[in-house]
């Protein structure tokens, strides 16, 4: 099969032929239609976090995909060849024509989504779901501050929190205000012009941090006592959390077919929507990585475009078309 591989840490992506995976009795072989690009692909490939995020080289990146079941192991009953599915997976492998996966992480593709749209969903939406509800214990009637609301994860967090009956405040570039209002934010704070802790009058029950650094530090100041700070970006200081009488946790996505199935139903009924920024052919993965690296200083040896004036850009994920 054709696949994109990384041969060494920090190296170039190579597009060529590799053996098609074989499946165990409890696995499914999926013929991949589309995959999507995540920061995690680049971070793992750079080797900078190899102690906590090791990969086996040569490595096929790709932590989410949509596709069609090609073959099932003898112990698999929940799916049959021909089923359209989508999923996130922890080890990568989806920048390829075929992938062997366990059924527990996959769900049926929402019928109203194209394969490209479906591939953009699993990582960002499940990160948002688990950040809000599993770690943030967000309830109807509460208020949440989402730091980085216009990004891929943030947009799902805004939609899911709003659908769950919470009041949603988000930080983003000013250009994104109308977009965020349209998907459920009741207030948007332009992070380039104001510091959220200075303009918020009332404290919030939950902060979902998708930015990190100083932004995370400042979020302790806006949490109610007993509130929850959930970060998807970096560890939370337990000393600071105790000092402010809040809980603080850095989450890591645990892909779940059950959660993704529930998200799939919300997508199918039109309660939430996906966003695809750009689609590239699989063999152009290196260009897609350059686009993403522009937002990630120092990763994979690429120079960031750097801060500066807010620029108009499409929302959502970069997707790779495989078949
Ligand atoms: N822990 C996990 O399991 C997990 C899973 C998925 C993602 N993540 C992490 O979560 C983070 C977000 O991922 P993503 O895919 O949503 O990223 P993304 O699509 O690149 O979005 C990042 C967003 O943050 C905005 N932003 C940048 N600086 C900001 C600031 N100081 N205040 C408010 N907004 C700011 C950007 O807006 P502008 O472009 O307008 O500046 C952009 O809209 C990344 O660090 C990613 O690695 C973690």
Q: At what angle do helices 285-293 and 39-46 cross, to 10 degrees?
A: 90
What span, in angstroms and rounded, lies between the C-alpha atoms of 248 and 230? 6
What span, in angstroms and rounded, lies between the C-alpha atoms of 190 and 178? 12
Ligand 1: which residue has its CA nearest to atom 42?
151
pTM as predicted: 0.95
pLDDT of residue 298: 44
Query: ∠ CA(175), CA(169), CA(313), 5° rounding?
Result: 25
Average pLDDT over residues 248-256: 97
Among candidates 60, 21, 23, 65, which has minimal Cα distance to 44?
60
Pocket of ligand 1 (CB under 6 A): 39, 123-124, 127, 147-148, 150-154, 171-173, 191, 210-211, 215, 232-233, 251-253, 295, 310
pLDDT of residue 296: 58
CB atoms under 10 Å from CB of 52, counted, come to: 7
Q: Could you read off the pLDDT of 146-174 as tens digits, one per residue? A: 999 999 999 999 999 999 999 999 999 99
CB atoms under 10 Å from CB of 9, counted, come to: 15
Please answer whether residues 270 and 252 qualify as being in contact, where contact means their C-beta atoms are separated by less than 8 angstroms: no
The percentage of the chain sitting over the pLDDT mark of 70, rounded to a whole number, equals 94
Q: Could you read off the pLDDT of 104-142 as tens digits, one per residue? A: 999 999 999 999 999 999 999 999 999 999 999 999 999
């Amino acid at each position: 099969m054709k696949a994109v591989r990384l041969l060494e840490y920090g190296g170039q992506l190579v597009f060529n032929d590799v053996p098609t995976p074989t499946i165990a009795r409890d696995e499914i072989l999926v013929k991949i239609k589309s995959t999507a690009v995540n920061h995690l692909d680049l971070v793992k490939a750079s080797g900078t976090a190899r102690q906590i995020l090791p990969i086996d080289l040569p490595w096929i990146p790709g932590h989410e995909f949509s596709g069609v079941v090609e073959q099932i192991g003898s112990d698999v009953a929940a799916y049959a060849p021909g089923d359209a599915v989508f999923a996130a997976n922890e080890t990568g492998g989806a920048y390829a024509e075929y992938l062997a996966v366990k059924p527990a992480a996959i769900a049926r593709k929402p019928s109203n989504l194209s394969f490209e749209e479906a591939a953009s969903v699993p990582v960002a939406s499940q990160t948002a779901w688990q950040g809000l509800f599993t770690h943030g214990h967000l309830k109807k009637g509460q208020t949440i501050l989402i730091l980085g609301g216009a990004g891929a994860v943030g947009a799902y967090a805004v939609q899911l929190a709003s659908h769950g009956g919470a009041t949603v405040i988000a930080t983003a570039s000013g250009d994104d205000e109308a977009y965020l209002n349209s998907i459920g934010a009741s207030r948007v704070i332009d992070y380039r012009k104001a510091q959220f802790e200075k303009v918020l009058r009332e404290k919030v029950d939950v902060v979902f941090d998708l930015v990190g650094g100083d932004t995370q530090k400042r979020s302790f100041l806006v949490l109610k006592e007993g509130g929850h700070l959930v970060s998807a970006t970096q560890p939370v200081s337990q000393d600071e959390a105790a000092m402010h009488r809040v809980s603080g946790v850095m989450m890591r996505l645990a892909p779940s077919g059950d959660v993704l199935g529930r998200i799939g139903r919300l997508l199918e009924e039109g309660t939430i929507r996906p966003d695809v920024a750009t689609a590239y052919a699989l063999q152009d993965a290196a260009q897609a990585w350059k686009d993403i690296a522009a937002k990630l200083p120092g990763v994979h040896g690429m120079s960031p475009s750097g801060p500066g004036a807010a620029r108009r850009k499409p929302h959502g994920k970069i997707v790779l078309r495989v078949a």
